[in-house]
Amino acid sequence: MTEASERYLADQVAVVTGASSGLGQACAVALARRGASVAVNYHHDADGAAQTVRRCEEAGARAFAFQADVSDEDGVKALFAETVDTYATVDILVANAGLQKDARFTDLTLKDWNTVIGVNLTGAFLCMQEAVRQFRRQGMRHSRALGKIIAMSSVHDVIPWAGHVNYAASKGGLSLLVKSAAQELAEEKIRVNAIAPGAIATAINKSVWSDPAQMEALKKLMPYGRIGQPEDIGEAAAWMASDMADYMVGHTMVVDGGMELYPEFRDNG
């Protein structure tokens, strides 16, 4: 358990989307360890969300689970309304919900294009809007910022990804959504930033890391020599949400074991 002196998010409330597993769960738990109360949003995995709530409570924080599809405006409004009813404020948003629907370019259906853009990009937009509205309603609280928004991007906001154009397009879009919103909102002391994880062992890429041959190939893309763990991202999110990161505005923090360093070029002449 984190030392009391490290509970630097005490009296703050976080909404974490897609928090029933993986990066979202790790962010929720990391924020809870720093004392934040957490609204654990999930789409379909109620058991996973209940586990996240338990882990937050074990960390000494308050948490509740709430089902909502982030690509649905009414669902997002209900998520924020319930959070404010329960904990009175929202100080931190981790817009994490995201998914992949992979296909070769000409096999990619419009439905799967729309689903991925809808959740990864539009979902983040809708949650960010609601968060900003709530930050304004409640005014300055226990932080140097009026509110903090962290969007979960990916190294594929800059690394092109064949076979995943919907996903890469959503993350590339997210990157400029974050920077443009940050530029617009900074004067109100709202900090909008993103985290760009590399390969982190979660359900989204299990088919890759659970297969030894594919894992070997993946390791060549990670100079640091290991796949990331969800906690690597959770810790980054907790820091970004804190006043220690108060001067970080409109930035995408890459947490990827070196994947964005073009490791293929290492032995190239």
Residues that bind ligand BGC (CB under 6 A): 100, 154-156, 198-199, 204-205
Q: How many CA atoms lie within 13 A of 159 on its CB side?
A: 20
Nearer to ligand BGC, 35 or 230 (CB): 230
Q: Please give the DSSP secondary-structure letter assigned to residue 228.
A: B
Nearer to ligand BGC, 138 or 205 (CB): 205
Q: Is 262 a catalytic residue?
A: no
Q: Which of 8, 87, 167, 262 is catalytic?
A: 167
Q: Which of 46, 38, 40, 45 is nearest to 91 (CA)?
A: 38
Q: Which residue is nearest to ligand BGC (CB)?
A: 154
Nearer to ligand BGC, 196 or 241 (CB): 196
Alpha helices (H) in 139-223, listed in sequence order: 165-185, 206-209, 212-219
- Cα-atom radius of gyration of the chain, to the nearest Å? 18
Least Å distance between CB 132 and ligand BGC?
A: 25
What are the DSSP E strand ranges found in the chain?
13-16, 37-42, 63-67, 92-95, 147-152, 190-197, 252-255
Least Å distance between CB 92 and ligand BGC?
A: 22
Catalytic site residues? Answer: 167
